[in-house]
Chain A
Amino acid sequence: MEWLSGFADTLWSTLDDVLPIALVIFGFQLFVLRRPVPNLRRVLTGFFYVLLGLTLFLQGLEQALFPLGRLMAEQLTNPAFILEGARQLTAAVHWSEYYWVFIFAFAIGFSTTVAEPSLIAVAIKAHKVSGGAIGVWGLRIAVAIGVAFGIALGAWRIVTGYPLQYFIISGYVFVIIQTYFAPRMIVPLAYDSGGVTTSTVTVPLVAALGLGLAESVPGRSPLLDGFGLIAFASLFPIISVMAYAQISEFRARHGVRDK
């Protein structure tokens, strides 16, 4: 019974998400374009599937993976767990004692990005538009590696307490320089991949990790230092996707082929 009411809640909030979009689309279609929607039945069925799919997806995450993931983030950042590694109670714990946190940040960043529905959507589109030059899996793995690095580095920043803007601004400078060397075709897609990575799956788990870290590291305020992980997660995929294209181009030019 509890499950059913949870399902109804999720369905309701997904409907909240879909409704404004549907209103805008059908409103413009009727009053501005003034033409019937081609394959209306098929499109409506598609919308229904999207709604049903997202509801089941979120419901499943909320029921199984999120509680465990959040609990894990809390436990890993708990001083008791970290100090056990340090073996003694000194006032300042060196950042390297947090190694499990960084490994967890990397692993959870990678694995949640691979399952991110909006990234799958963009990868399917990019694969079709590029005539197969961009692989669905290649793009997803490239983005996932970027997010993994971004979140691990972001966790390191929270532990060490360096100002966020230094990292983000140096990241931008790097992206600008890299843009000039990357194949022109990949640049817009790479910029896009920064924004698509962080949605339904990644954000809740990453937010829990950031909050847990900011609460447990001495001298950090959860309100101020808990932010910033998402910024890292949207910056690094830009770099890794451009690098993916650069590596593919380099391999193609030098005649290295997959078997």
Chain B
Amino acid sequence: MWHAFLALGRSLLDSLRDLAPIIIVIAFFQLAVLQQPIPDLAGLLGGTLLVALGLTFFIYGLDMGLFPIGESMAQAFAQKGSVFWLLVFAFTLGFSTTIAEPALIAVADEAAEIAAEGGMIETGNESMERYAFGLRLTVALSVGLAIVIGVLRILKGWPIHYLIIGGYLGIVIMTGFAPETIIGIAYDSGGVTTSTITVPLVTALGVGLASSIRGRNPMVDGFGLIAFASLTPMIFVMAYGMII
């Protein structure tokens, strides 16, 4: 019991150290640059403690829950030997975690506003909602597809850079044809798709797969799934902008 508390205290200190830079930056700009007092010091300290506590629990849970389940499922799929079901799983995981992502919902709503203002769709709640939902669906499909391609790459042992460079070329070409207003949203959409829960799970899945297939190196083949998940949305969103 005493040990557990000691360990908790130590990881709490680690988390506080992780947060120290943000606090220093905010305090410096508030006091030295903007020359204003810190409005609610007690609230700030209390909030920081909550953040540190949260980070500590998150990392505990990561080691107990997310990492082991990702790896054990990867091994189970490798033993089962059904590529079809593995790919279905990969797609479902990518799609379902993205469609409800709050950051994506926010971006899609903003995108609909831009499209309405630019005269690309009718202004009106219904058409804007339809546009935003279409965009979310597009991004979620593209992330599902990305995980499928990424898993296939691990199975086949394809070198990652050819695929990624190919993807970049695709983006460069699409940029030339896509409407100006969608480009910023498309570029940003790559970054917002992968949430804090998806990242550890998908990473554990990739590393687990690469470790359980003979001839694959977990370092060279296991990583890279996230990279695909942030690349394909850019292409798909530009395509969406061109079609609508």
CB within 8 Å of B: which of A45-61? 45-61
Interface residues of B: mostly helix, strand, loop or mixed?
helix
Q: Are B51 and A227 in contact (CB under 8 A)?
A: no
Residues in A with CB closer than 8 Å to B220 are: 184-185, 187-188
The number of chain B residues with a CB under 8 A from chain A is 104
Bound-state CA distance A53–B209 (Å) is 27
Docked CA distance A58–B76 (Å): 34
Contact of B34 among A76, A111, A192 (CB under 8 A): A76
**Which of A52, A110, A120: most chain B CB closer than 10 A?**
A120
Q: How far is the CB of B50 from chain A (nearest CB, A)?
A: 3
Are B26 and A68 neighbours in the complex by a CB distance under 8 Å? yes
Overall SS of chain A's interface: helix
Give chain A interface residues in 219-254, CB to chain B under 8 Å: 223-231, 233-234
A32–B102 Cα distance when bound, in Å, is 29
Say yes or no: is A38 at the interface (Cβ < 8 Å to chain B).
Answer: yes
B9 in contact (CB, < 8 A): no
A55–B114 CB distance below 8 A? no
0 or 1 for each of A37-49: is its CB under 8 Å from B? (1 = yes): 1110011111111
Chain A minimum-CB-distance residue to B175: A165
| A72 near B50: Cβ-Cβ < 8 Å | no
Task: Return the CB mask of A10-50 against B: 1 if under 8 Å, else 0.
Answer: 00010011101101110011001101011100111111111
A231-B188 contact, Cβ under 8 Å, with A37-B69, A59-B50: yes
Check if A72 sits within 8 Å of B226, measured CB to CB. no
B 120-132 to A, binary, CB cutoff 8 A, 1 in contact else 0: 0000000000000
A227 touches B221 (CB 8 A): no
**In chain B, what residue has the closest Cβ to A118?**
B199
Q: Could you tell me if A175 and B62 are in contact, using CB atoms closer than 8 angstroms? A: no
A-B contact count (CB 8 A): 333
Of B53, B191, B226, which contacts A192 at CB under 8 A?
B226
20 contacts between A and B (CB under 8 A): A17-B197, A20-B99, A21-B93, A25-B73, A28-B89, A38-B72, A45-B64, A46-B68, A49-B61, A50-B197, A53-B56, A59-B50, A65-B51, A75-B34, A121-B59, A122-B200, A175-B168, A191-B164, A192-B224, A234-B230
A-binding residues in B (CB < 8 A): 18-19, 21-26, 28-30, 33-34, 38-39, 43-69, 72-73, 76-77, 80, 85, 88-89, 92-93, 96-97, 99-103, 110, 113-114, 117, 160-161, 164-165, 168, 171-172, 175, 181, 183-185, 187-188, 190-201, 203-204, 207, 218-227, 229-230
Q: Which residues of A contact B (CB under 8 A)?
A: 13, 16-18, 20-21, 23-25, 28-29, 32-33, 35, 37-39, 42-65, 68-69, 72, 75-76, 81, 100, 104, 107-108, 110-112, 114-115, 117-118, 120-122, 124-126, 129-130, 164-165, 168-169, 172, 175-176, 179, 184-185, 187-189, 191-192, 194-201, 203, 223-231, 233-234
